[in-house]
Amino acid sequence: MFTITRGRLALVSAVAVGAVVALAGCASGDPLDEGNSSSSGSDTIVVGSQDYYSNEIIAEIYAQALENGGYTVERQFRIGQREAYLPEIESGAIDVFPEYTGSLLQALEPDAAGGTADETYAELQDALPDGLAVLDKADATDQNSWTVTQAFADTYGLTDIASLTKVTEPITVGGNSELETRPYGPTALKEKYGINIAGFTPVEDSGGPLTVKALVDNKIQLANIYTADPNIASNNLVALDDPDGLFFPDNVVPVVSDKVDDGAAEIINAVSAKLTADTLVALNSQSVNDQAAADTIATQWLTEAGLL
Amino acid sequence: MNLFASAIQWILDPANYVGLNAIPLRIGQHVAFSLVTVLIASAIAIPLGYLIGHTGRGRGLAVTTSGGLRAIPTLGLLTLVALWVGIGVVAPYVALTVLAIPPILAGAYTGFEAIDRRTVDAARSVGMSELQIVRKVEVPLGLPLLIGGLRSATLQVIATATLAAYVADLGLGRYLFSGLKTRDYAEMLGGSILVILLALTLEGIFALIQRFVVPRGVSGRLGTTPALRTGSATAAR
């Protein structure tokens, strides 16, 4: 009898101690407070990425190059679209983030003029809030584009965006919800070019396989697909020319906080110098067509480029 | 709290009541889509559930399969089906039907199983055919649990039908996706509140239905095993 009670007591105290330990574990990490926990280690560089596989590959390349240079890196990948992560960068919770010159400029200054790649880059430098900077831009671009199928382009003799006015059937545009309100969205096509846009269909995968399939199935006729997407070549799609600069040039560019010192900046600039347009398509292709993981692709490329 | 106020403001804004993105239109699409989904799921799950409940065979299989169906992530299934059939409403219908089947199936066969065996035996001994037993005894007595299953399926579908907007211009999910992507949190929260209100309204309606479908003799015994000492005669008539 007595032993049973003692055994029970031991069990109860064991459970109680376990619960206390577990609760203490909960208390020390507030899951919503990522900002503070990541900036606690003052010599840790936080690398972030968009919720976009290609952006993650670039971020992983930065991260591995920095680690190779002796820096401690924390990865905050796949954060979301620009609307979600821009406040994080501005607040200083993230130190390095692969970005695209034109799109970032338009997000920061909706009325920006744009222009050539260099002009856009210069404008972006002025537009960045205090405490943030951009390092060298890479040659690689991953631009928004209005993309159609080869067959559709042949039927109507399409070459550039303006030639879409020649299309006689109603055009349904497909893409992420935010595309509808972007300055180059369906409204701009209607108002600026007088293109007959019949409607908008949301396909929330950022120009991914669902969008490509919808285009190939002719459920949508016009989609926003990024120019570095290997699907353009493999599915016989045509990214329409943009002679009027409806889309700003989107060179890959690292946005950095002032925690990135000269040594780290040098490492990242060395990466950007080797990142050409063809390189980026090849990197993306390894992810899309070969299903390779971002870190594998990054290590392999860095080794080949002599940066590891 | 400020965000909550702006969400309410968004719901009340007259600008959101015109055009192709009007709130009443989106609610209508959402409800119609959800109800059709539950109907399709019912057409599959109810006959199957009745068969299992009446014969007592295949229960193990049904439990495992519907448990497995429950574990399928709806967005993943939606994407998979959409890659196969293309964008549009078909993929969301398939994905959400899969979501709705398990609770309806469970409601159908547990409704039959919960009936006192003596009642069924009594029906059989007064000379009812198997079909008559199903129609006149098991279906009416099992109805409360079936409606319970339908209620839970409808609730899940209403809440998850927001995913239809992932591949189709349909339903209240459009507000969630576009609000999220454009940092218009008033729109996003407003859309969520509408989904919640819709779910609660349908819950209320189902609670009423559930009250009215209980056979007269069993009323007041909802949720417990309908032990049918007095009810059997009424229900079997």
Give the up-direction half-sphere exposure of residue B96: CA atoms within 13 A in the CB hemisphere: 28
Distance from chain centroid for Cα B26: 19
Taking chain B, what is the end-to-end CA distance rounded to the nearest angstrom? 57
Closest in A180, A199, A210 to B87, CB measured: A210
Grouping H, G, I as helix, E, B as strand and the rest as coil, residue B124 is helix
Instruction: Please answer yes or no on whether B86 and A209 come within 8 Å at the CB atom.
Output: no
Nearest Cα residue in chain A from B84: A213
Q: Considering only CB atoms, which chain A residues are within 8 Å of B182?
A: 83, 177-178, 181
Could you tell me the CA-to-CA distances from A234 to A30, A209, A281 in Å, in that order?
45, 12, 12
Distance from the B41 Cα atom to the nearest Cα atom in chain A, whole angstroms? 25
CB atoms within 10 A of CB A56: 24
Query: Residue B219 — pLDDT band, cuts 50, 70, 90?
Result: low
- Among the residue ranges A132-136, B24-28, B61-65, the one predicted with the least confidence is B61-65
Distance (Å, whole) CA B93 – CA B211: 29
DSSP letter at B134 equals: I
Is the alpha carbon torsion for B52, B55, B57, B60 positive or negative? Answer: positive
Burial (CB < 10 A; 0-12, 13-18, 19+), residue B224, is: exposed
Express each pLDDT in A145-201 by its tens digit: 999 999 999 999 999 999 999 999 999 999 998 898 888 899 989 999 999 999 999
- Do the Cβ atoms of A177 and B174 come within 8 Å? yes
The percentage of residues in chain B with a pLDDT greater than 70, rounded to a whole number, is 90
Chain A residues with CB inside 8 Å of B169's CB?
199-202
* Predicted pLDDT of residue A8: 58
Mutation target for B interface from A79, A90, A177: give the one with most B CBs within 10 A.
A177
Phi-psi group of A128: left, alpha or beta (phi > 0 → left; psi -120 to 50 → alpha; rest → beta): beta
pLDDT at position A26 is 45
* Dist CA B135 CA B155 (whole Å): 27
For strand A44-48 and strand A72-76, is the pairing parallel, antiparallel, or unpaired?
parallel
Question: What is the structure's pLDDT at A41?
Answer: 52
Whether the per-residue pLDDT at A307 is higher than 80: the answer is: yes
Residue of chain A with shortest Cα separation from B177: A177
Nearest CA in chain A to B87: A214
Report all structural domains of chain B as residue ranges with CATH numbers, in order of start: 23-229 (1.10.3720.10)
- Residue A267 C-alpha, separation from nearest chain B C-alpha, in angstroms: 33
**pLDDT class of B167 with cuts at 50, 70, 90:** very high
Tell me the backbone φ, ψ of residue A81, rounded to 5 degrees. -90, 175
Closest CA to A120 of A99, A146, A89, A95: A99
Question: CA of B183: which chain A residue's CA is closest?
Answer: A83
Let me know: does A190 contact A221? Beta carbons within 8 Å.
no
Q: Please state, in angstroms and rounded to a whole number, the distance separating the CA atoms of residues B155 and B203.
A: 7
Tokens 């399939």 appear where?
A: A213
The rounded distance, in Å, linking the Cα atoms of A149 and B121 is: 67
The string of pLDDT tens digits covering residues A200-251 is 999 998 888 899 999 999 999 999 999 999 999 999 999 999 988 888 999 9
Q: Is the pLDDT of residue A274 over 60?
A: yes
pLDDT of residue B228: 45
CA distance A65 to chain B (A): 31
* Distance from the B28 Cα atom to the nearest Cα atom in chain A, whole angstroms: 18
Question: What 3-state class would DSSP assign to A121?
Answer: helix
Q: What percent of chain A has pLDDT over 90?
A: 64
Is 0.80 topped by the overall pTM?
Answer: no
Hey, are the CB atoms on B168 and A204 less than 8 Å from each other?
no
In whole angstroms, what is the distance from residue A169 CA to residue B19 CA? 23
Q: Do A213 and B87 touch (CB under 8 A)?
A: yes
Each residue's pLDDT tens digit, A52-107: 899 999 999 999 999 999 999 999 999 887 877 888 888 889 999 999 999 899 88
Interface touch B174/A209, C-beta < 8 Å: no
Phi/psi for A14 (5° steps) reads -60, -45
pLDDT, averaged across chain B: 88
DSSP conformation letters of A153-185: HHHHT--BGGGGGG--SPEEEEE-GGGGGSTTS
One DSSP character per residue, A71-97 reads -EEEEE----SHHHHHHHHHTTS-SEE
Residue A65, pLDDT score: 96
